[in-house]
Structures are given as structure tokens and as C-alpha cells.
Amino acid sequence: MEFIKIRRDLHSHEAQEEFALMRAQIEYEMEREVKSYRDVFKLFRHRAFASIAVQTMTSLTGVNVIQYYQTILFKSLDIGPHMILALAGVYGTCAFTSNVISTVFLLDQWGRRRMILTGLTSVILIEIYTAVMQRSFQDTNNRVGKGFTILGIYVSQVRLCS
């Protein structure tokens, strides 16, 4: 048997037991093999709907709009080109960092459901705040108001990743 040659660290009977377990697992997975979308919804209905809902909510939060058009948002606040590039770089760094932190530390502690519901509620409130701030301060000389607008853009990214 080729498997015994590969697993030289095991005795013959141990290798045969491991091979039998592998074969049983493969047979079990073949019985539950998904061959159509109907099978997906039949076997994994809740998971399928949860994944569709998460993807839809992600698209509806506006994360792509903010990410792609953040330079235009910053420019409408009369920020110079060098500062816009710096803000975009910091934004990307914050996005990566918040993704890592939320995935590594928060996901198992909070649970997926609680995190999704909290995140969605927070995103709605933060997006409204950011839109109001952007509209209120884009044509003014109020640097503090513009700073709070930028803060809203950053906080929305941190919330979207959580």
C-alpha cells in the first residue's frame, strides 16, 4: 500500500486505521456532495441565506463608494492633494488593521450574529452622520467641521469591518 510508504512514522496497523478513517470521511463527503443550487438550499439553507444577506448588506453599506471616491470626498472639503494621498493611505491602513482586529479578537467573543446586527446598526448611524457632516461643511471654512467629516469617513470604515 502506497499510504504506508508515505507514513513511515506509523506502524502498519496505525497507517491502515488512518487510511480507513480517510476513506470513510471521503465517502461521507461524497454522500453529501452538492451538485446543484437546489442541493445548496436543501442541505445548507440557513448558511446560504446568511451568506446572501451578508453580501447584500455589505454592498448596501456603501463601503465601495467610500473606498473608491474618498479622494473626491476629501477634495470637496478643500483638502490639498498631498494631504488627500496621506488620508487615503491612513484610511487603507485603518481598514486593514480593523479587519485584522475584528477577525482575530472579536469574532469568536461576540459571535457572528451579534457582530452583524451591531455592525449594521452602527453603519447606518455613522453613514447618516458622515453624510450630514459632508453636506454641512464642504463649502465652508470650518476646519473642525471638516475634521469631523473625515472622522466619520474613518469610523465608517472601522465599523464596516467589524
- Stronger pLDDT, 11 or 136, i.e. the higher one: 136
Contacts of 4 (CB under 8 A, 6+ apart): 10, 12, 15, 16
| pLDDT at residue 53, rounded to an integer | 86
Task: Please give the distance of CA 90 from its chain centroid, rounded to a whole number.
Answer: 18
Indicate whether 78 pLDDT > 70.
yes
Note the pLDDT of residue 159. 57
Residue 128 DSSP SS3: helix
Is the pLDDT at 151 greater than 60, yes or no? yes
Residue 112: the pLDDT is 77
CA angle 84, 87, 95 (to 5 degrees): 140
- CA pair distance 124, 155, nearest whole angstrom: 12
* Measured distance CA(73)–CA(130) in Å, rounded: 11
Residue 143 vs residue 8, higher pLDDT: 143
Least confident interval from 45-49, 81-85, 102-106, 143-147:
102-106
Mean pLDDT value across residues 52-72: 82
Q: Are 77 and 138 in contact (CB under 8 A)?
A: yes
Does 162 have pLDDT greater than 70? no
pLDDT the model gives residue 158: 65
Within 13 Å of residue 38, how many CA atoms lie on the same side as its CB? Answer: 0
Q: Enter the pTM of the model.
A: 0.60
| Amino acid identity for residue 159 in this structure | R
CA distance 76 to 71: 9
Q: Is the pLDDT of residue 30 over 90?
A: no
